[in-house]
Amino acid sequence: LVVHGRIATATEEWWRQLVPQEIVLLSALIRTLSASGSASCDYPVFLPQFSPTVAHRLLRFQLLPGADVCVLCGSTPSLHKAETELVGHFWSPLVETLRNCLALGDRCLPGSISLRPDVLALLLINRETRRSVSCLQNSSHHPPILSKARCWELLKLFYTFSISRYFTQEERTLRDITEDFLLGFSHQPQQCYLVTEECKCYALQTPQHQLYLLVMPSVPTFALCTLATQTLSDIVAPTGF
């Protein structure tokens, strides 16, 4: 299920059988197909790891404007059968749920979760399941301190900065550790932050999660760790993410 161009939920096979590269490629294709405005489509896809020589079919159906359901399948069912017999049967009872999901917009978190008003945007990654949720919080300031586009851009840049300089994606080898020790940097960083004129950025890494925060520049730098820790708890505790 894709809402506002992002994966809202998917089957275990989607997460477990597809490699991250394939998920990114399929997500980009789905956004392109959704932008075409068609109610449904049947598109052949080759997957670099899962099926590099035999094409699978990507079926996409618009449930509501901004909400699409996508199915990766083989030669059956036909597009017509899926559209007339399956989509309505499974999704018609969930129309109100879909509307509520669409109403969340860029927030992408349940309404029961309350974030600090000085949080502008966040990215939370579950390192074990390799899933993520990103959130843009509506600013109470008029005009907003940063535009939505600028918030997403800064969050992406901070994420790239953090994982390229501090948070490694794979376990280090003994040789890496030895070399780093000689350089005086043998430990694995757990936190990092940046202070800019536009906002402050803070990243927190635990064995299970990575959290990337964009907050207002007025937040004291010494309070960033506490704010990040509390935000992580506020999201994970009620959702189990």
193 contacts 200 by C-beta, under 8 angstroms: yes
- Give the single-character DSSP code of 85: I
pLDDT of residue 182: 39
pTM for the full predicted model: 0.73
Residues with Cβ within 8 Å of 46's Cβ and at least 6 positions away in sequence, in order, are: 52, 53, 54, 55, 56
Q: How far apart are CA 66 and CA 151, in angstroms?
A: 21
139 contacts 118 by C-beta, under 8 angstroms: no
Domains of the chain: 2-103 (no CATH), 119-239 (3.30.450)
Give pLDDT tens digits for 80-129: 999 999 999 999 999 999 998 888 776 677 777 888 999 999 999 999 88
Give pLDDT tens digits for 197-240: 999 999 999 999 999 999 999 999 999 999 999 999 999 998 88
pLDDT of residue 173: 45
Q: Mean of the pLDDT values across residues 18-33? A: 91
